[in-house]
A and B are shown apart, each in its own frame.
Chain A
Amino acid sequence: MKKGTTILQANNISIGYNNKKENNAIASNINLSLKPGTLIALIGANGIGKSTLLRTLTGIQKPLSGTVVLNHKEVMDYTPADLAQHLSIVLTESLPPSNLTVYELVALGRQPYTNWVGRLSPEDHLKIDRALQLTQIQHLSGKRHFEISDGQLQKVLIARALAQDTPLIILDEPTTHLDLQHKVNVLRLLKKLASEEGKCILYSTHDLELALQLSDELIVMTPDSVFQNTPDKCIEYKVFDGFFNDEGITFDSSKGTFIIK
Protein backbone atom coordinates (compact mmCIF):
# COMPACT_ATOMS: atom_id res chain seq x y z
CA MET A 1 0.00 0.00 0.00
CA LYS A 2 1.54 3.25 -1.04
CA LYS A 3 1.95 5.69 1.77
CA GLY A 4 -0.47 8.49 1.26
CA THR A 5 -3.36 6.36 -0.07
CA THR A 6 -6.32 6.76 2.25
CA ILE A 7 -7.59 3.56 3.76
CA LEU A 8 -10.61 4.82 5.62
CA GLN A 9 -12.49 7.95 4.78
CA ALA A 10 -15.44 9.56 6.44
CA ASN A 11 -17.26 11.98 4.14
CA ASN A 12 -19.26 14.58 5.95
CA ILE A 13 -20.93 12.09 8.21
CA SER A 14 -23.15 12.76 11.15
CA ILE A 15 -23.36 10.04 13.76
CA GLY A 16 -26.03 9.19 16.28
CA TYR A 17 -28.99 6.98 16.98
CA ASN A 18 -31.88 6.71 14.65
CA ASN A 19 -34.84 6.96 16.95
CA LYS A 20 -38.24 6.28 15.40
CA LYS A 21 -39.36 9.78 16.19
CA GLU A 22 -36.34 11.86 15.33
CA ASN A 23 -32.69 11.64 14.43
CA ASN A 24 -30.46 12.22 17.42
CA ALA A 25 -27.20 13.41 15.96
CA ILE A 26 -24.41 13.23 18.47
CA ALA A 27 -21.98 14.92 16.14
CA SER A 28 -22.13 16.10 12.52
CA ASN A 29 -20.05 17.34 9.65
CA ILE A 30 -17.32 14.88 10.40
CA ASN A 31 -14.62 14.49 7.79
CA LEU A 32 -11.79 12.08 8.45
CA SER A 33 -9.05 10.53 6.38
CA LEU A 34 -6.96 7.68 7.77
CA LYS A 35 -3.78 6.68 5.96
CA PRO A 36 -1.50 3.66 6.22
CA GLY A 37 1.61 3.86 8.36
CA THR A 38 -0.08 6.21 10.83
CA LEU A 39 -0.92 5.87 14.51
CA ILE A 40 -4.03 7.91 15.22
CA ALA A 41 -5.50 8.56 18.66
CA LEU A 42 -9.21 9.30 19.10
CA ILE A 43 -9.67 11.62 22.05
CA GLY A 44 -12.74 13.07 23.68
CA ALA A 45 -14.39 13.60 27.04
CA ASN A 46 -16.64 10.88 28.43
CA GLY A 47 -19.97 10.67 26.69
CA ILE A 48 -18.94 12.78 23.73
CA GLY A 49 -19.54 9.95 21.31
CA LYS A 50 -16.21 8.19 20.79
CA SER A 51 -17.77 4.75 20.86
CA THR A 52 -20.51 5.84 18.49
CA LEU A 53 -17.91 7.19 16.10
CA LEU A 54 -15.92 3.96 16.23
CA ARG A 55 -19.03 1.90 15.64
CA THR A 56 -19.95 4.04 12.67
CA LEU A 57 -16.46 3.84 11.21
CA THR A 58 -16.40 0.04 11.53
CA GLY A 59 -19.78 -0.45 9.93
CA ILE A 60 -21.59 -1.72 13.03
CA GLN A 61 -23.79 1.36 12.97
CA LYS A 62 -25.09 3.31 9.99
CA PRO A 63 -24.18 7.02 9.81
CA LEU A 64 -27.21 9.32 9.96
CA SER A 65 -25.89 11.00 6.83
CA GLY A 66 -22.78 10.87 4.73
CA THR A 67 -20.66 7.84 3.84
CA VAL A 68 -17.80 5.89 5.32
CA VAL A 69 -15.55 4.50 2.64
CA LEU A 70 -13.05 1.72 3.24
CA ASN A 71 -10.67 1.07 0.35
CA HIS A 72 -13.00 2.62 -2.22
CA LYS A 73 -16.05 0.74 -1.08
CA GLU A 74 -18.66 1.79 1.41
CA VAL A 75 -18.19 0.07 4.70
CA MET A 76 -21.86 -0.95 4.86
CA ASP A 77 -21.53 -2.79 1.54
CA TYR A 78 -18.92 -5.22 2.74
CA THR A 79 -19.89 -8.76 3.71
CA PRO A 80 -18.66 -9.68 7.18
CA ALA A 81 -16.17 -12.13 5.69
CA ASP A 82 -14.82 -9.51 3.32
CA LEU A 83 -14.63 -6.81 5.94
CA ALA A 84 -12.67 -9.17 8.18
CA GLN A 85 -9.79 -9.05 5.74
CA HIS A 86 -9.63 -5.27 5.84
CA LEU A 87 -10.33 -4.38 9.42
CA SER A 88 -9.53 -6.00 12.76
CA ILE A 89 -10.30 -4.91 16.28
CA VAL A 90 -8.82 -5.07 19.77
CA LEU A 91 -11.18 -4.65 22.72
CA THR A 92 -10.82 -4.38 26.46
CA GLU A 93 -13.87 -6.47 27.41
CA SER A 94 -13.03 -9.60 29.36
CA LEU A 95 -13.05 -12.85 27.44
CA PRO A 96 -15.66 -15.57 28.05
CA PRO A 97 -14.44 -18.54 30.07
CA SER A 98 -12.47 -20.95 27.92
CA ASN A 99 -9.26 -22.88 27.83
CA LEU A 100 -7.67 -21.12 24.90
CA THR A 101 -3.92 -21.01 24.93
CA VAL A 102 -2.13 -17.91 23.73
CA TYR A 103 -1.21 -19.63 20.49
CA GLU A 104 -4.79 -20.79 19.87
CA LEU A 105 -6.08 -17.31 20.59
CA VAL A 106 -3.71 -15.65 18.16
CA ALA A 107 -4.44 -18.40 15.62
CA LEU A 108 -8.12 -17.39 15.67
CA GLY A 109 -7.04 -14.25 13.87
CA ARG A 110 -6.56 -16.39 10.76
CA GLN A 111 -10.29 -17.31 10.58
CA PRO A 112 -11.05 -15.05 7.58
CA TYR A 113 -8.49 -17.01 5.57
CA THR A 114 -8.96 -20.64 6.59
CA ASN A 115 -11.28 -23.19 4.99
CA TRP A 116 -14.78 -24.06 6.25
CA VAL A 117 -13.44 -26.36 8.91
CA GLY A 118 -10.85 -23.85 10.14
CA ARG A 119 -7.75 -25.83 9.28
CA LEU A 120 -4.50 -23.86 9.48
CA SER A 121 -2.18 -24.01 6.48
CA PRO A 122 1.60 -23.62 6.74
CA GLU A 123 1.20 -20.03 5.60
CA ASP A 124 -1.26 -19.42 8.43
CA HIS A 125 1.26 -20.75 10.92
CA LEU A 126 3.90 -18.39 9.50
CA LYS A 127 1.65 -15.39 9.99
CA ILE A 128 0.84 -16.47 13.53
CA ASP A 129 4.51 -16.87 14.38
CA ARG A 130 5.25 -13.46 12.89
CA ALA A 131 2.54 -11.87 14.97
CA LEU A 132 3.90 -13.48 18.13
CA GLN A 133 7.35 -12.26 17.19
CA LEU A 134 6.31 -8.68 16.56
CA THR A 135 4.59 -8.47 19.90
CA GLN A 136 7.43 -10.36 21.58
CA ILE A 137 5.24 -12.92 23.32
CA GLN A 138 6.55 -16.16 21.82
CA HIS A 139 7.50 -17.37 25.29
CA LEU A 140 3.84 -17.25 26.31
CA SER A 141 2.59 -19.45 23.45
CA GLY A 142 1.66 -22.44 25.57
CA LYS A 143 0.05 -20.59 28.43
CA ARG A 144 -3.74 -20.35 28.87
CA HIS A 145 -5.14 -16.89 28.33
CA PHE A 146 -6.22 -16.58 31.96
CA GLU A 147 -2.78 -17.44 33.28
CA ILE A 148 -1.09 -14.27 32.05
CA SER A 149 -1.24 -10.67 33.26
CA ASP A 150 -3.56 -8.03 31.83
CA GLY A 151 -0.68 -6.29 30.11
CA GLN A 152 0.43 -9.53 28.47
CA LEU A 153 -3.15 -10.33 27.47
CA GLN A 154 -3.37 -6.95 25.78
CA LYS A 155 -0.35 -7.87 23.67
CA VAL A 156 -1.89 -11.25 22.87
CA LEU A 157 -5.03 -9.58 21.57
CA ILE A 158 -2.92 -7.22 19.50
CA ALA A 159 -1.03 -10.20 18.12
CA ARG A 160 -4.35 -11.76 17.14
CA ALA A 161 -5.27 -8.62 15.22
CA LEU A 162 -1.88 -8.76 13.55
CA ALA A 163 -2.40 -12.36 12.55
CA GLN A 164 -5.64 -11.26 10.91
CA ASP A 165 -3.33 -9.29 8.58
CA THR A 166 -5.55 -6.28 7.96
CA PRO A 167 -4.36 -2.88 6.75
CA LEU A 168 -6.52 -1.17 9.39
CA ILE A 169 -6.56 -2.03 13.09
CA ILE A 170 -8.90 -0.34 15.54
CA LEU A 171 -8.37 -0.51 19.29
CA ASP A 172 -10.95 0.48 21.89
CA GLU A 173 -9.18 2.08 24.88
CA PRO A 174 -6.20 -0.25 24.88
CA THR A 175 -4.38 1.65 27.63
CA THR A 176 -7.20 2.13 30.10
CA HIS A 177 -6.46 -0.57 32.66
CA LEU A 178 -2.69 -0.52 32.53
CA ASP A 179 -0.06 1.18 34.62
CA LEU A 180 2.10 3.88 33.05
CA GLN A 181 4.90 1.58 32.04
CA HIS A 182 2.55 -0.80 30.31
CA LYS A 183 0.69 2.08 28.70
CA VAL A 184 3.93 3.29 27.19
CA ASN A 185 4.86 -0.25 26.12
CA VAL A 186 1.63 -0.74 24.26
CA LEU A 187 1.80 2.63 22.56
CA ARG A 188 5.40 2.06 21.53
CA LEU A 189 4.39 -1.29 20.06
CA LEU A 190 1.51 0.27 18.18
CA LYS A 191 3.77 3.00 16.82
CA LYS A 192 6.26 0.41 15.66
CA LEU A 193 3.56 -1.60 13.94
CA ALA A 194 2.32 1.52 12.21
CA SER A 195 5.66 2.70 10.93
CA GLU A 196 7.44 -0.62 10.27
CA GLU A 197 4.50 -2.77 9.12
CA GLY A 198 2.66 0.05 7.40
CA LYS A 199 -0.55 -0.53 9.33
CA CYS A 200 -3.11 2.18 9.88
CA ILE A 201 -3.88 2.06 13.59
CA LEU A 202 -6.69 3.97 15.22
CA TYR A 203 -7.13 3.82 18.98
CA SER A 204 -9.39 5.61 21.41
CA THR A 205 -7.95 6.74 24.72
CA HIS A 206 -8.30 8.96 27.75
CA ASP A 207 -4.58 9.27 28.18
CA LEU A 208 -4.40 12.54 26.30
CA GLU A 209 -0.93 13.51 27.34
CA LEU A 210 0.59 10.20 26.23
CA ALA A 211 -1.33 10.40 22.99
CA LEU A 212 0.09 13.82 22.32
CA GLN A 213 3.60 12.50 22.72
CA LEU A 214 3.36 9.19 20.92
CA SER A 215 0.74 9.47 18.16
CA ASP A 216 1.19 10.62 14.59
CA GLU A 217 -2.26 12.16 14.45
CA LEU A 218 -5.15 12.93 16.75
CA ILE A 219 -8.88 13.00 16.21
CA VAL A 220 -10.27 15.30 18.85
CA MET A 221 -13.99 15.29 19.63
CA THR A 222 -15.29 18.40 21.33
CA PRO A 223 -18.88 19.55 21.78
CA ASP A 224 -18.48 21.82 18.76
CA SER A 225 -16.45 19.83 16.28
CA VAL A 226 -14.42 16.80 15.32
CA PHE A 227 -10.88 17.80 14.42
CA GLN A 228 -8.21 15.61 12.81
CA ASN A 229 -4.58 16.74 12.68
CA THR A 230 -1.07 16.24 14.05
CA PRO A 231 -0.62 16.85 17.79
CA ASP A 232 1.29 20.07 17.16
CA LYS A 233 -1.37 21.49 14.91
CA CYS A 234 -4.05 20.53 17.41
CA ILE A 235 -2.32 22.49 20.10
CA GLU A 236 -1.71 25.35 17.69
CA TYR A 237 -5.40 25.53 16.82
CA LYS A 238 -6.20 25.61 20.54
CA VAL A 239 -8.46 22.58 20.17
CA PHE A 240 -8.00 21.66 23.82
CA ASP A 241 -9.25 24.93 25.22
CA GLY A 242 -12.63 24.23 26.64
CA PHE A 243 -12.07 20.50 26.19
CA PHE A 244 -13.60 19.69 29.55
CA ASN A 245 -16.71 21.36 30.73
CA ASP A 246 -14.88 22.62 33.79
CA GLU A 247 -13.23 26.01 34.06
CA GLY A 248 -10.85 24.65 36.66
CA ILE A 249 -9.12 22.43 34.08
CA THR A 250 -7.15 24.30 31.46
CA PHE A 251 -4.64 23.26 28.81
CA ASP A 252 -1.09 24.52 28.92
CA SER A 253 0.25 24.69 25.35
CA SER A 254 3.90 24.95 26.30
CA LYS A 255 3.85 21.98 28.64
CA GLY A 256 1.39 19.94 26.55
CA THR A 257 -0.58 19.00 29.66
CA PHE A 258 -3.74 19.94 31.53
CA ILE A 259 -3.41 22.15 34.60
CA ILE A 260 -5.83 21.93 37.49
CA LYS A 261 -6.50 25.07 39.48
Chain B
Amino acid sequence: MRKLYLLLVILFLVFAGCKNDISHKGVHAEKSVNIIKYAKGLEIYKYDGFTVVKVTRPWPDATKGFTYIMQQKGAVIPDSLKESIIIPIPLKSVVVTSTTHIPSLEMLGVENTLAGFPGTDYISSVKTRKRIEAGNVKEAGANESLNTEVLLDLAPDAIVAFSINNTNKTLNSLEQSGLKVIYNGDWTEQSPLGKAEWIKFFGALYGKGKEADRLFSKVERDYNEALNLVKDLKSKPTVMAGALYQDQWYMPQGGSWGALFLKDAGADYLWAKSDGTGSISLSFETVLEKAQNSDIWIGPSQYTSLSEMKEANPHYAQFKSYKNKQVYSYSTKKGETGGLLYFEVAPNRPDLVLKDLISIMHPELLPGYQLNFFEKLK
Protein backbone atom coordinates (compact mmCIF):
# COMPACT_ATOMS: atom_id res chain seq x y z
CA MET B 1 0.00 0.00 0.00
CA ARG B 2 2.73 2.42 0.97
CA LYS B 3 4.60 1.67 -2.24
CA LEU B 4 1.56 2.49 -4.36
CA TYR B 5 1.17 5.73 -2.46
CA LEU B 6 4.79 6.61 -3.07
CA LEU B 7 4.42 5.85 -6.77
CA LEU B 8 1.44 8.19 -6.98
CA VAL B 9 3.36 10.93 -5.23
CA ILE B 10 6.27 10.56 -7.61
CA LEU B 11 3.97 10.62 -10.65
CA PHE B 12 2.23 13.67 -9.31
CA LEU B 13 5.50 15.49 -8.73
CA VAL B 14 6.68 14.61 -12.23
CA PHE B 15 3.47 15.98 -13.71
CA ALA B 16 3.57 19.03 -11.51
CA GLY B 17 7.12 19.70 -12.59
CA CYS B 18 6.21 19.36 -16.27
CA LYS B 19 3.63 22.11 -16.09
CA ASN B 20 4.51 25.64 -16.89
CA ASP B 21 6.17 27.49 -14.03
CA ILE B 22 4.25 30.67 -14.62
CA SER B 23 0.95 29.37 -13.34
CA HIS B 24 2.55 28.36 -10.07
CA LYS B 25 4.09 31.61 -8.94
CA GLY B 26 3.34 32.25 -5.32
CA VAL B 27 2.15 28.77 -4.62
CA HIS B 28 5.39 27.16 -5.67
CA ALA B 29 7.56 26.26 -2.70
CA GLU B 30 10.86 28.02 -2.90
CA LYS B 31 13.57 25.82 -1.62
CA SER B 32 14.34 26.78 1.94
CA VAL B 33 17.33 25.90 4.05
CA ASN B 34 17.39 23.25 6.76
CA ILE B 35 17.82 25.09 10.01
CA ILE B 36 19.00 22.07 11.96
CA LYS B 37 22.70 22.03 12.77
CA TYR B 38 23.41 19.14 15.10
CA ALA B 39 20.53 16.66 15.05
CA LYS B 40 21.07 13.94 12.47
CA GLY B 41 17.52 12.64 12.35
CA LEU B 42 15.66 15.92 11.96
CA GLU B 43 15.25 18.51 9.21
CA ILE B 44 13.19 21.66 9.45
CA TYR B 45 12.40 23.99 6.54
CA LYS B 46 10.53 27.22 7.18
CA TYR B 47 8.13 28.68 4.66
CA ASP B 48 5.54 31.39 4.61
CA GLY B 49 2.66 30.05 6.71
CA PHE B 50 3.93 26.51 7.10
CA THR B 51 6.94 24.53 8.20
CA VAL B 52 8.17 21.25 6.75
CA VAL B 53 9.45 18.90 9.45
CA LYS B 54 11.26 15.77 8.32
CA VAL B 55 11.92 13.02 10.81
CA THR B 56 14.51 11.11 8.86
CA ARG B 57 15.40 8.52 11.47
CA PRO B 58 12.30 7.64 13.50
CA TRP B 59 14.01 4.48 14.75
CA PRO B 60 17.48 3.00 14.36
CA ASP B 61 17.99 1.39 10.93
CA ALA B 62 14.93 3.12 9.53
CA THR B 63 14.96 2.93 5.75
CA LYS B 64 12.75 5.93 5.30
CA GLY B 65 11.41 8.74 7.45
CA PHE B 66 8.30 10.85 7.81
CA THR B 67 7.52 14.29 6.46
CA TYR B 68 5.09 16.49 8.34
CA ILE B 69 3.72 19.82 7.20
CA MET B 70 2.93 22.07 10.14
CA GLN B 71 0.27 24.30 8.67
CA GLN B 72 -0.79 27.58 10.23
CA LYS B 73 -4.37 28.66 9.94
CA GLY B 74 -5.23 29.86 6.47
CA ALA B 75 -1.87 29.01 4.99
CA VAL B 76 -1.75 27.59 1.49
CA ILE B 77 0.14 24.39 0.95
CA PRO B 78 1.70 23.92 -2.48
CA ASP B 79 0.34 21.00 -4.46
CA SER B 80 3.70 19.26 -4.44
CA LEU B 81 3.46 18.85 -0.68
CA LYS B 82 -0.22 17.99 -0.37
CA GLU B 83 0.57 14.27 -0.17
CA SER B 84 2.52 14.61 3.08
CA ILE B 85 0.89 14.48 6.47
CA ILE B 86 -0.50 17.90 7.31
CA ILE B 87 -0.79 18.96 10.93
CA PRO B 88 -2.83 22.07 11.68
CA ILE B 89 -0.98 24.15 14.25
CA PRO B 90 -0.71 25.47 16.87
CA LEU B 91 -1.74 22.35 18.73
CA LYS B 92 -4.37 22.91 21.37
CA SER B 93 -4.11 19.46 22.89
CA VAL B 94 -1.37 16.90 22.67
CA VAL B 95 -0.44 13.47 23.97
CA VAL B 96 3.28 12.80 24.25
CA THR B 97 4.86 9.48 25.03
CA SER B 98 8.23 10.13 26.63
CA THR B 99 9.17 12.07 29.75
CA THR B 100 11.85 13.79 27.64
CA HIS B 101 9.07 15.59 25.80
CA ILE B 102 7.78 17.26 28.95
CA PRO B 103 10.65 19.75 29.45
CA SER B 104 10.30 20.80 25.80
CA LEU B 105 6.65 21.64 26.37
CA GLU B 106 7.45 23.49 29.56
CA MET B 107 10.33 25.47 28.12
CA LEU B 108 8.01 26.65 25.34
CA GLY B 109 5.32 27.45 27.87
CA VAL B 110 2.77 25.10 26.31
CA GLU B 111 2.61 22.48 29.04
CA ASN B 112 -1.08 23.23 29.45
CA THR B 113 -1.82 21.50 26.18
CA LEU B 114 -0.73 18.13 27.57
CA ALA B 115 -3.91 16.06 27.66
CA GLY B 116 -2.59 12.58 28.30
CA PHE B 117 0.56 10.55 28.92
CA PRO B 118 1.27 6.82 29.15
CA GLY B 119 2.64 6.16 32.62
CA THR B 120 2.09 9.50 34.34
CA ASP B 121 3.99 8.29 37.39
CA TYR B 122 7.27 8.64 35.53
CA ILE B 123 6.88 12.38 35.16
CA SER B 124 9.01 14.28 37.71
CA SER B 125 8.29 17.88 36.74
CA VAL B 126 6.50 19.64 39.58
CA LYS B 127 4.44 21.82 37.28
CA THR B 128 3.09 18.93 35.29
CA ARG B 129 2.57 16.77 38.37
CA LYS B 130 0.18 19.44 39.63
CA ARG B 131 -1.79 19.17 36.42
CA ILE B 132 -1.79 15.38 36.66
CA GLU B 133 -3.11 15.53 40.19
CA ALA B 134 -5.79 17.96 39.10
CA GLY B 135 -6.91 15.39 36.54
CA ASN B 136 -5.91 17.44 33.52
CA VAL B 137 -3.48 14.86 32.23
CA LYS B 138 -5.16 11.52 31.61
CA GLU B 139 -3.39 8.24 32.08
CA ALA B 140 -3.05 6.81 28.58
CA GLY B 141 -1.67 3.33 29.11
CA ALA B 142 1.90 2.18 28.49
CA ASN B 143 4.03 3.21 25.54
CA GLU B 144 3.93 -0.09 23.75
CA SER B 145 0.25 -0.41 24.40
CA LEU B 146 -1.41 2.95 24.46
CA ASN B 147 -5.01 2.66 25.52
CA THR B 148 -6.92 3.08 22.28
CA GLU B 149 -10.18 4.02 23.92
CA VAL B 150 -8.66 6.72 26.11
CA LEU B 151 -6.92 8.26 23.12
CA LEU B 152 -10.00 8.07 20.92
CA ASP B 153 -11.96 9.80 23.63
CA LEU B 154 -9.30 12.46 24.28
CA ALA B 155 -9.01 13.06 20.54
CA PRO B 156 -5.88 15.22 20.86
CA ASP B 157 -4.75 17.41 17.98
CA ALA B 158 -1.66 15.24 17.73
CA ILE B 159 0.06 12.28 19.35
CA VAL B 160 3.83 12.55 19.56
CA ALA B 161 4.84 8.91 19.59
CA PHE B 162 7.90 6.81 19.19
CA SER B 163 8.11 3.25 18.02
CA ILE B 164 10.92 0.85 17.29
CA ASN B 165 9.49 -0.10 13.92
CA ASN B 166 6.54 0.43 11.67
CA THR B 167 4.30 -2.23 13.08
CA ASN B 168 2.62 -0.71 16.08
CA LYS B 169 -0.97 -1.97 16.01
CA THR B 170 -2.34 0.73 18.30
CA LEU B 171 -0.71 3.64 16.49
CA ASN B 172 -1.90 2.32 13.15
CA SER B 173 -5.42 1.98 14.47
CA LEU B 174 -5.34 5.52 15.88
CA GLU B 175 -4.06 6.86 12.59
CA GLN B 176 -6.90 5.14 10.81
CA SER B 177 -9.39 6.81 13.10
CA GLY B 178 -8.17 10.15 11.82
CA LEU B 179 -5.89 11.17 14.68
CA LYS B 180 -2.52 12.67 13.78
CA VAL B 181 0.38 10.50 14.87
CA ILE B 182 3.77 12.18 14.70
CA TYR B 183 6.81 9.97 15.11
CA ASN B 184 9.55 11.54 17.19
CA GLY B 185 13.08 10.29 16.68
CA ASP B 186 14.94 12.23 19.36
CA TRP B 187 15.76 9.04 21.20
CA THR B 188 17.98 7.87 18.32
CA GLU B 189 20.04 11.04 18.51
CA GLN B 190 23.42 10.57 20.19
CA SER B 191 25.19 13.90 20.19
CA PRO B 192 24.32 16.02 23.25
CA LEU B 193 23.48 19.13 21.24
CA GLY B 194 21.73 17.06 18.60
CA LYS B 195 19.35 15.64 21.13
CA ALA B 196 18.65 19.07 22.61
CA GLU B 197 17.99 20.56 19.20
CA TRP B 198 14.76 18.59 19.03
CA ILE B 199 13.13 21.40 20.95
CA LYS B 200 12.81 23.00 17.52
CA PHE B 201 10.58 20.03 16.58
CA PHE B 202 8.23 21.00 19.36
CA GLY B 203 8.61 24.65 18.44
CA ALA B 204 7.26 23.84 14.98
CA LEU B 205 4.22 22.10 16.49
CA TYR B 206 3.18 25.25 18.27
CA GLY B 207 4.21 27.90 15.80
CA LYS B 208 6.90 28.92 18.29
CA GLY B 209 9.83 28.38 15.97
CA LYS B 210 11.55 31.62 16.95
CA GLU B 211 11.20 30.90 20.66
CA ALA B 212 12.60 27.38 20.19
CA ASP B 213 15.51 28.76 18.19
CA ARG B 214 16.25 31.26 20.96
CA LEU B 215 16.07 28.65 23.70
CA PHE B 216 18.33 26.29 21.83
CA SER B 217 20.85 29.00 20.99
CA LYS B 218 21.20 29.76 24.66
CA VAL B 219 21.78 26.10 25.50
CA GLU B 220 24.26 25.92 22.62
CA ARG B 221 26.13 28.98 23.87
CA ASP B 222 26.30 27.73 27.44
CA TYR B 223 27.42 24.35 26.25
CA ASN B 224 30.20 25.77 24.12
CA GLU B 225 31.27 28.05 26.94
CA ALA B 226 31.60 25.01 29.18
CA LEU B 227 33.53 23.22 26.45
CA ASN B 228 35.94 26.14 26.43
CA LEU B 229 36.73 25.53 30.07
CA VAL B 230 38.19 22.14 29.32
CA LYS B 231 40.05 23.17 26.20
CA ASP B 232 43.57 23.12 27.55
CA LEU B 233 43.68 20.43 30.11
CA LYS B 234 46.84 19.08 31.58
CA SER B 235 45.40 15.78 32.73
CA LYS B 236 42.19 13.83 32.41
CA PRO B 237 40.78 11.54 35.08
CA THR B 238 40.03 7.95 34.04
CA VAL B 239 36.35 7.14 34.13
CA MET B 240 34.26 3.98 34.17
CA ALA B 241 30.48 3.63 33.98
CA GLY B 242 27.56 1.26 34.36
CA ALA B 243 27.11 -1.67 36.71
CA LEU B 244 26.27 -5.36 36.75
CA TYR B 245 22.83 -6.58 35.77
CA GLN B 246 22.36 -10.30 36.29
CA ASP B 247 25.79 -11.46 35.14
CA GLN B 248 26.42 -8.78 32.56
CA TRP B 249 28.08 -5.41 33.02
CA TYR B 250 26.48 -2.98 30.62
CA MET B 251 29.10 -0.42 29.56
CA PRO B 252 28.03 2.45 27.32
CA GLN B 253 29.71 2.31 23.95
CA GLY B 254 31.97 5.11 22.70
CA GLY B 255 29.38 6.58 20.33
CA SER B 256 26.55 6.71 22.83
CA TRP B 257 25.05 9.90 24.24
CA GLY B 258 26.50 9.30 27.71
CA ALA B 259 30.00 8.56 26.40
CA LEU B 260 30.01 11.64 24.18
CA PHE B 261 29.33 13.78 27.24
CA LEU B 262 32.28 12.24 29.02
CA LYS B 263 34.48 13.05 26.05
CA ASP B 264 33.28 16.64 25.98
CA ALA B 265 33.78 16.97 29.73
CA GLY B 266 37.44 16.19 29.43
CA ALA B 267 37.33 12.72 30.90
CA ASP B 268 39.35 9.72 29.83
CA TYR B 269 36.48 7.29 29.47
CA LEU B 270 38.09 3.89 29.39
CA TRP B 271 35.73 2.55 26.73
CA ALA B 272 35.68 5.65 24.56
CA LYS B 273 37.17 3.76 21.66
CA SER B 274 34.39 1.16 21.47
CA ASP B 275 32.12 1.47 18.44
CA GLY B 276 28.41 1.77 18.69
CA THR B 277 25.71 3.83 20.26
CA GLY B 278 24.31 1.37 22.76
CA SER B 279 25.97 -0.63 25.51
CA ILE B 280 28.27 -3.59 25.38
CA SER B 281 27.80 -6.39 27.83
CA LEU B 282 31.03 -7.30 29.55
CA SER B 283 31.97 -9.76 32.19
CA PHE B 284 32.92 -8.54 35.64
CA GLU B 285 36.52 -9.68 35.25
CA THR B 286 36.98 -7.67 32.05
CA VAL B 287 35.75 -4.52 33.73
CA LEU B 288 37.80 -5.09 36.86
CA GLU B 289 40.93 -5.71 34.87
CA LYS B 290 40.61 -2.54 32.82
CA ALA B 291 38.98 -0.18 35.25
CA GLN B 292 40.07 -1.22 38.70
CA ASN B 293 42.14 1.89 39.08
CA SER B 294 39.87 4.31 37.32
CA ASP B 295 39.53 7.58 39.16
CA ILE B 296 35.83 8.17 38.83
CA TRP B 297 32.76 6.00 38.49
CA ILE B 298 29.80 7.59 36.71
CA GLY B 299 26.25 6.32 36.61
CA PRO B 300 26.19 2.94 38.42
CA SER B 301 22.67 2.09 37.24
CA GLN B 302 19.97 2.42 39.84
CA TYR B 303 22.10 2.43 43.02
CA THR B 304 21.63 5.30 45.42
CA SER B 305 24.19 4.54 48.14
CA LEU B 306 27.57 2.85 48.49
CA SER B 307 26.21 0.37 51.03
CA GLU B 308 23.42 -0.59 48.61
CA MET B 309 26.06 -1.34 46.02
CA LYS B 310 28.15 -3.43 48.38
CA GLU B 311 25.09 -5.40 49.42
CA ALA B 312 24.18 -6.10 45.84
CA ASN B 313 27.68 -7.24 45.02
CA PRO B 314 30.68 -7.09 47.41
CA HIS B 315 33.06 -7.06 44.46
CA TYR B 316 32.12 -3.48 43.69
CA ALA B 317 34.37 -2.55 46.62
CA GLN B 318 37.37 -3.66 44.61
CA PHE B 319 37.32 -0.56 42.47
CA LYS B 320 39.54 2.35 43.42
CA SER B 321 36.75 4.78 42.60
CA TYR B 322 34.53 2.99 45.11
CA LYS B 323 37.23 2.99 47.81
CA ASN B 324 37.84 6.68 47.30
CA LYS B 325 34.14 7.43 47.32
CA GLN B 326 34.29 8.87 43.82
CA VAL B 327 31.06 7.32 42.65
CA TYR B 328 28.50 9.68 41.11
CA SER B 329 24.97 8.55 40.40
CA TYR B 330 22.00 10.18 38.66
CA SER B 331 19.50 7.91 40.32
CA THR B 332 19.12 9.81 43.53
CA LYS B 333 17.29 12.83 42.12
CA LYS B 334 13.73 11.74 41.59
CA GLY B 335 10.32 13.27 41.17
CA GLU B 336 7.54 12.77 43.68
CA THR B 337 6.36 9.55 42.09
CA GLY B 338 9.73 8.03 41.39
CA GLY B 339 10.58 9.30 37.90
CA LEU B 340 14.27 10.06 37.40
CA LEU B 341 15.03 13.71 36.81
CA TYR B 342 18.06 12.83 34.71
CA PHE B 343 16.12 10.91 32.08
CA GLU B 344 13.48 13.57 31.87
CA VAL B 345 15.42 16.83 31.78
CA ALA B 346 18.97 15.97 30.74
CA PRO B 347 18.28 15.51 27.01
CA ASN B 348 17.00 19.09 26.81
CA ARG B 349 19.71 20.66 28.98
CA PRO B 350 23.03 19.21 27.86
CA ASP B 351 24.66 22.40 29.10
CA LEU B 352 23.72 21.48 32.67
CA VAL B 353 24.86 17.89 32.23
CA LEU B 354 28.18 19.03 30.82
CA LYS B 355 28.75 21.44 33.65
CA ASP B 356 27.85 18.70 36.14
CA LEU B 357 30.40 16.39 34.61
CA ILE B 358 33.08 19.05 34.34
CA SER B 359 32.54 19.87 37.98
CA ILE B 360 32.98 16.19 38.81
CA MET B 361 36.04 15.68 36.59
CA HIS B 362 37.74 19.03 37.16
CA PRO B 363 36.22 20.61 40.27
CA GLU B 364 38.74 23.43 40.22
CA LEU B 365 37.21 24.79 37.00
CA LEU B 366 33.80 25.41 38.55
CA PRO B 367 34.18 26.43 42.17
CA GLY B 368 31.01 26.53 44.22
CA TYR B 369 29.02 24.60 41.61
CA GLN B 370 25.93 22.70 42.70
CA LEU B 371 25.27 19.48 40.81
CA ASN B 372 21.95 19.38 38.97
CA PHE B 373 21.59 15.74 38.11
CA PHE B 374 24.37 13.80 39.74
CA GLU B 375 25.14 13.14 43.34
CA LYS B 376 28.22 11.79 44.98
CA LEU B 377 27.23 8.51 46.58
CA LYS B 378 27.83 8.11 50.27
Direct interface between A and B, CB < 8 A: no
Q: B residues within 8 Å of A by Cβ? A: none
Footprint of B on A, CB under 8 Å? none
